[in-house]
Amino acid sequence: MLKKVLLLLAIGTAIPAVAQVGGRATYQFLNLVSSTRQAALGGKNITNYDYDPTQGMYNPAAINPEMDNQLALNYANYIGDVNYGTASYAYLWDRRTQVLHTGITYINYGAFDGYDENGEPTESFSGGEVALSFGHARNIAFTNFHVGGNVKFISSKLEQYTSFGVAADIGLMYVYEDWDLHITAVARNLGTQITPYENTYEKLPFEVLFGISQTLQNIPIRWHFTLENLQTWNIAFANPNRDEIDLEGNTTSEDINFIDNAFRHMIVGIELFPESGFNLRLGYNLRRAEELRIIDQRSFAGLTGGFSIKLNKLRLSYAYSRFNSAATTSTFGLNINLQ
């Protein structure tokens, strides 16, 4: 029993980015960011429509011909001993009109010391999860709309417990080239466990997102705006550490209002020189900033940043994500043009 407790505590600590909507479903790793670009733009960015095949893992409507023969690899040194990464690839077929996409996401929770009910040491154990996805998208004839879907096969092992599941993503994207405007919506992780860890079937981390982005005219800046977790309006919570006690000993809890909830759905980001061989990226995740804010201390929680540089057929990228003064993450990416 203690093994289960230790593992659950470790996993809960390792994934602060999904704090208030986490814990309600299994396979939470499916909603971690999939690339350095996403990470640098605040996380869960879904509006890019270009060469990067990693975008198709989060929003299948973004799968497009520019991804042809592009291979993307991403690795994140997460919190503690947790590591995770992604790999994705896209290929044009059928007279170069249809795009097939595949991707893999894995997470390794590291090693844990095991103890029995008497506190005596036992064998160490580990945990890890992986998801393999296959996706396809196509243009809706005579329109600027694109629709796509992913199917994901999921395997999870936590200590001696294993589980298998299947899920799907559905995305719709509007691309208006004259304004370089992208508007999109995605429903992610529609699915079920095929085999539960024990006897109880758990929900998958279903999520609905909406995003919009545009490159400014005559200015080399692309702005991004994302709304996350639209399937659940009330994702804010009253932090007991912010309770106020008056002189008579009466306690007043933190007031969570409509505006508080609205802001916690928002992620904003900008890319400087988005079309060039070198670009800079900045982002701000409002929910992460509020939930992980340390009282009476400037922790800069929620801030993200990064860059990418193109070297011939290689594009190297890096992202830095700050959760609080004690927890940061670095993400590294490599995009290879195999043409």
Pairing of strands 83-93, 98-115: antiparallel
Distance in angstroms between the alpha carbons of the first and the last residue of the chain: 52
Q: Give the torsion sign (CA, 84, 317, 16, 231).
A: negative
Q: Which CA distances in Å does 232 have to 21, 235, 295?
A: 8, 7, 26
Nearest to 55 by CA among 40, 77, 33: 33
Position 14 scores a pLDDT of 40
Nearest-angstrom CA–CA distance, 166 and 58: 16
Q: How many CB atoms lie within 10 A of CB 213?
A: 24
Residue 136: the pLDDT is: 95
Task: Give the mean pLDDT of 173-195.
Answer: 97
- Is 74's pLDDT higher than 80? yes
What is the Cα–Cα distance from 228 to 45, expressed in whole angstroms? 9
Which position has the higher pLDDT, 323 or 91? 91
pLDDT at 3 over 50: no
> DSSP character for 58?
H
35 or 6, greater pLDDT: 35
The model's pLDDT over 79-125, given as tens digits with 9 standing for 90+, comes to 878 999 999 999 998 766 689 999 999 999 988 888 888 888 888 88
Return d(Cα 46, Cα 335) in angstroms, integer.
Answer: 18
Average pLDDT, the chain: 88
What local confidence, expressed as pLDDT, does residue 246 receive?
A: 67
Q: Give the mean model confidence (pLDDT) for residues 299-315.
A: 93
pLDDT recorded at residue 119: 84
Residue 16 is classified by DSSP as G
The arithmetic mean of pLDDT across residues 117-142, rounded, is 91
- The token duo for 315 is 């594009």
Q: What is the 3-state secondary structure (H, E, C) of 234-292?
A: CCCCCCHHHCEECCCCCEECCCCCHHHHHHCCEEEEEEECCCCCEEEEEEEEHHHHHHC
Helices (H), the chain: 2-14, 36-40, 55-58, 258-263, 286-291
**Res 258: pLDDT:** 85
Higher local confidence (pLDDT), 258 or 252: 258
Q: Is-contact 75 316, C-beta < 8 A? A: no
Task: Give the pLDDT score at 22.
Answer: 57
Cβ–Cβ < 8 Å for 262, 255: no
Q: Where are the domains of the chain?
A: 2-337
Residues 161 and 197: beta-carbon distance below 8 Å: yes
Looking at residue 42, what is its pLDDT? 95
Q: Give the residue-averaged pLDDT of 302-310.
A: 96
Q: pLDDT tens, 16-50?
A: 333 456 567 999 999 999 999 999 999 999 999 99
Note the CATH number of domain 2-337: 2.40.160.40
State the pLDDT at residue 153. 98
Closest CA to 321 of 25, 84, 62, 26: 84
Eight-state DSSP code of residue 78: -
For the segment 142-147, the average pLDDT, to the nearest whole number, is 96
Per-residue pLDDT, 16: 39
> Which of 11-25, 213-227, 267-281 shows the lowest per-residue confidence on average (mean pLDDT)?
11-25
Instruction: State pLDDT tens for residues 274-305.
Output: 989 999 999 999 998 888 876 666 678 899 99
User: 3-class DSSP state for residue 304?
Assistant: strand
Question: Which residues does 247 contact at the CB level (< 8 Å), separation at least 6?
Answer: none
